[in-house]
Structure 1
Amino acid sequence: MTSITRRLGKALVALLLAQPVAAQDLSLPKSAERTLSTVQDPGAYALPTGAWTNGRMPTARIEGRIEVEAWRVPNSDLSAFQMVQPLRDALAASGYEIVLDCAARACGGFDFRFNTLVVPAPQMYVSLDDYHFISARSPDGAVSVLASRGARDGYVQIVRAGNGVKAAVKTTAAVVMPAEARGLAEALEAEGHVVLPDVIFASGSAALGGGAVGSLDTLAQYLKANPNRRVMIVGHTDATGSLQANRAVSLKRAEAAVAYLTDKGVAATQLQAEGAGYMAPVATNLTEQGREANRRVEAVLLSTD
């Protein structure tokens, strides 16, 4: 282990131990940048409680407020285990029962990774053979932590589920909006369309939930500042199921995003919703990675007159 790794590991532990047990923070390195934060309330989360074996993965359904965060730790020497372990200890110190603590192959490898909730790239990156996962439960709800590494950066995803978990467990680190969010308006005008990465729905659901959606808030500000702009919100799916069913669910998801924007004060005349189903893929539907990329919501610039 390098001296940098030791210092970062000690810093993580010190930050965690400095917090009171009754309201334990899940503290990340100070360099961590939050790349996504979204809430579904009410919502449901299938908390993994065991490894993928014999074609299945045991889960526990947790209902209530579902919070999903993704973080990037730039130029980190920490391994996936080193990123997860202090957070695991913090949860245990707060009275959570650790129900699953596993590394890539022990979790079930490829199958585990593609059968649980994972924020898509670029907000979250998960190596198929180098990740670490924990899930923890308390009487009030559950928390899961997933960590992995890219070529230079570390990535951490935290899911909090249940109506009582928010007050007991929170994450602290520098909150830095990623370039994708900061440049949404510029990208929309330069490219004519932009993917809204934090518009996330539960499987089969078209409900956005009750929390803030950063990309939609940014888009609302842009449209209110530019009343001559019009956009189409387009929902997309992967190629699983019939075209008719996929177009229907993708349209409902686009309509949910449009409703969010009108609630933020955007004029209805500036907005249009459409569901493309699986007719406009950006990746192959032959792999899980490709299908994940295809499940998206985009804003398309219609006019600037």
Structure 2
Amino acid sequence: MRSSFTLALLLAVGLAGSAARAADESPTADVKGSADHPVISRFSGSLLVGYGQQDWATTVLPGAGGMSKTERNKFADPLQVEGKITRLFYLSPLGKTPLEVFRNQQQALMAAGFKPRFSCEVKDCLGPAYFAIKDDNRGKGMDWAKGYLIGVKGNNFRGAKWGIPMSVTYDEGHILAGTLTRGGSTLQILVFTSLAENEYTDRAASYVEIVEPKSMPTGQVTVDAKAIGAGLQAEGRIALYGILFDTGKAELKPDSDAQLDQMVAVLKAQPAAKVFIVGHTDNVGSVDANLKLSQGRAQAVVAALAQRGIAANRLAAHGNANYAPVASNASEEGRAKNRRVEMVLQ
């Protein structure tokens, strides 16, 4: 009798020790370098255990049609968006259900003016939505906290360990996608909250993805002299995005030097050619202000080319404001394309 009691006591102590050691491996702080996004706060007491941010990238979000009826684990009308993408992954406190966490997230978003486009809380769409999101490898580029999800329920799973990255599931899952307008910009927001890996962890996990519209950084590619010459020969003009100015300014930025050098090279290779340097703007601001700005920018380029040895009588500056867009000014991406300098054969 005493031997059996002793064995049982030792076994209980051993199991308790194993559970305590496993609990020590749970994350206790946010992943290094992370921060909540200002448009949605965390559920009280949660840890931000996964974080990633891309200054310019693209992602696919569910459209209003939900899940495809013909393609497995695909959105019916996927919405591809570009801009600054922030990805956040939270673990809620022990004992908090996915429903409680999600309802708080939903309530906070709706109070802020969120406009839902797609939502699902039933299994017939949750499973496909889960795989559509998870199979996109969204967590691959994120930073993750060290540690594990630890089993705290079920005799056979106490102290068991599971990985944290993208540990949302379709069990007790809830998904919401839509838009929120802030400061004149419309943000795309996706929230997916479910059990964290399984019922034995007794925690909820939330994946949040926020896309902020942003113009693609321009001026990162210089058009070389050969391409400029070919463009002038074929079209009589060529748009150059490597000529850079600060917003509302007409002073050339130093990063423009590489593009200016290529413009000089083609003009020296074609000594008889005369060109207009034409400045273009987007539609932000008045036409009069944009005419003045585009003219000033064109004159700045002419002056820079003259300083590099091109005869002044071969160059003429012209400001065209926003009279000749090459894309819609309704989007930031379109406005970025419209802000350009062109070389045009006289």
**TM-score normalized with structure 1 length:** 0.44
Give the strand-richer structure, 1 or 2: 1
Task: State the structure with more CA Rg.
Answer: 2
The structure, 1 or 2, with the larger RCO (C-alpha pairs under 8 Å, 6+ apart) is 1
